[in-house]
Amino acid sequence: MFKGLGNMADMFKQAQELQKNMTDVQEKLDSIIVTGASGAGLVTVEMTAKGTVKTLKIDPSLAKPEEIEILQDLVASAINDAKQKAEEASASEMEKATGGLSLPAGFKMPF
């Protein structure tokens, strides 16, 4: 009658382990720093793999009023470069945590 309960208990145990791994990965993503750059390194951005910008460096040669549009474009480009690298680092860490299990976008553990 209760023959399948052992399998159910194993599934819950695996789900709890996966949840712990996901929590560990989220914490680790805060410590992974990626650097984005644009304009041959004239603008750099450092951010965590979760997308929090830590530093923004702008070469002083770009701080000319007539070049403000270029500066703005380079800053946006550096942030986007760092964001892309952060997403790649995040995906890599999530893949490690889930053992390659493909989870749907936005998947949240129910526990």
**For residue 9, pLDDT beyond 70:** yes
pLDDT in tens, 25-64: 888 888 999 999 999 999 998 988 888 888 889 898 888 8
The structural domains of the chain, ordered by start, are 30-93 (3.30.1310.10)
pLDDT in tens, 74-83: 888 898 898 8
Q: What pLDDT is attached to residue 3?
A: 61
Q: Are 91 and 84 in contact, with CB atoms under 8 Å apart?
A: no
Nearest-Å Rg of the Cα atoms of the chain is 21
Q: What pLDDT is attached to residue 37?
A: 92
- The whole-model pTM stands at 0.57
